């Protein structure tokens, strides 16, 4: 089936304070081509700086979340030296853009989640998956390696699990991904959206700047030496800076006055 020229590879829709980015190439299991990747890179950068956006949901149309990179696109890039290098950099910027986006990113995963799609999920902050999801890192079965997604997948599933699944390319279940800690919430297909909405409601109650600071805190602290004086000076300075903010003043005052805080954004 050929792709229609007027078909958007990603559908963007605002739902309350959240923005949904829905992968929209369902006839080929939402395989990522150059256009889809470029649209996602731009969207995460733009929405990350949008004060009206509290959270971003990454979802997909059809019976699969995503089957990874479009192999036709990959083969085309491989035949062009300059494009091959640049496409790898662009793909890396997508996963980095998700991980470093100031807004919380929630992945809604169903059906298949293969190869690069596992990178999309692993770079996200919160992963809600249906128990029918099949995960795989099958790059080795195509003569490839999961290079651009590796920083996020290794962190999400752990080094030992990554050794196995990178090398074997075998399929593993949503239950196994949950056991490994890669998936935060495991649901039935019928309760997937209800669980997602409950998480979005929690995010809606949180301070926007504090959530962005928390995302950066986790990234930075995970690389720090906890025995180093510099680490403790760093985290103390972060607390002092945030504690003196208008957002913190509103949050603490709201708690003392037993009311909901009025966040800006």
- Cα dist from 17 to 46, 121, 155, whole Å: 15, 21, 29
Question: What secondary structure does DSSP assign to 230-246, as a single string?
Answer: HHHHHHHHHHHHHHTSH
Q: What is the pLDDT of residue 83?
A: 59
Query: Which of the residue ranges 25-39, 62-76, 218-232 would you say has the lowest mean pLDDT?
Result: 62-76
Q: What is the pLDDT of residue 6?
A: 59
Average pLDDT for 248-258: 97
Tokens 């593993």 locate to: 172
Q: What is the pLDDT of residue 5?
A: 45
Is the pLDDT at 239 greater than 50, yes or no? yes
Question: How many other CB atoms are found less than 10 A from the CB of residue 73?
Answer: 17
**Greatest distance between any 2 Cα atoms in the chain:** 64
Contacts of 153 (CB under 8 A, 6+ apart): 118, 119, 122, 137, 146, 162, 182
Average pLDDT of the chain?
93
Is the pLDDT at 2 greater than 60, yes or no? no
The neighbouring-strand residues paired with 128 are 108, 185
d(Cα 80, Cα 150) in Å, to the nearest integer?
24
* 3-state SS class at 130: strand
pLDDT band at 71 (very low <50, low <70, confident <90, very high): confident
Is the pLDDT at 80 greater than 70, yes or no? no
* 3-state SS class at 75: helix
Question: What secondary structure does DSSP assign to 174-223, as a single string?
Answer: HHHHHHHTS-SEEE-GGGHHHHHHHHHHHHHTS-HHHHHHHHHHHHHHTT
Q: What is the pLDDT of residue 85?
A: 66
d(Cα 114, Cα 64) in Å, to the nearest integer?
10
Q: What is the pLDDT of residue 1?
A: 34
- Cα dist from 217 to 157, 213, 225, 234, 249, whole Å: 20, 6, 14, 10, 20
Identify the residue with better confidence: 69 or 172. Answer: 172
pLDDT band at 203 (very low <50, low <70, confident <90, very high): very high
- Cα dist from 103 to 22, 48, 125, whole Å: 17, 5, 9
- Say what the alpha-carbon torsion angle 57, 14, 31, 44 is, to the nearest 10 degrees: -70
d(Cα 153, Cα 138) in Å, to the nearest integer?
13
Q: Are strands 105-109 and 112-114 parallel, antiparallel or unpaired?
A: unpaired
């Amino acid at each position: 089936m050929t792709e229609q020229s007027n078909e958007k590879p990603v559908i963007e829709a605002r739902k309350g304070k959240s923005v949904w980015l829905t992968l929209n190439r369902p006839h080929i299991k939402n395989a990522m081509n150059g256009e889809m990747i470029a649209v996602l890179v731009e969207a995460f950068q733009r929405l990350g700086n949008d004060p009206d956006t509290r959270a971003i949901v990454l979802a997909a149309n059809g019976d699969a979340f995503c089957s990874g990179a479009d192999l036709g696109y990959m083969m085309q890039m491989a035949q062009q030296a300059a494009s091959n290098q640049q496409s790898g950099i662009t793909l890396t910027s997508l996963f980095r853009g998700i991980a470093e986006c100031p807004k919380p990113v929630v992945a809604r995963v169903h059906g298949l989640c293969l190869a690069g799609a596992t990178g999309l999920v692993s770079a996200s902050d919160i992963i809600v998956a249906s128990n029918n999801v099949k995960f795989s890192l099958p790059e080795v079965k195509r003569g490839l390696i999961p290079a651009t997604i590796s920083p996020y997948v290794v962190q999400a599933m752990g080094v030992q699990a990554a050794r196995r699944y990178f090398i074997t390319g075998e399929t593993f279940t949503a239950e196994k991904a949950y056991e490994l800690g890669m998936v935060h919430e495991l649901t039935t297909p019928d309760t997937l959206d209800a669980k997602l909405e409950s998480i979005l409601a929690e995010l809606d109650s949180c301070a926007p700047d504090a959530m962005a600071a928390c995302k950066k805190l986790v990234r930075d602290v995970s690389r720090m030496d906890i025995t180093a004086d510099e680490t403790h000076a760093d985290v103390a300075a972060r607390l002092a800076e945030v504690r003196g903010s208008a957002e913190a003043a509103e949050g603490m005052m709201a708690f003392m006055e037993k009311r909901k805080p009025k966040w800006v954004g």
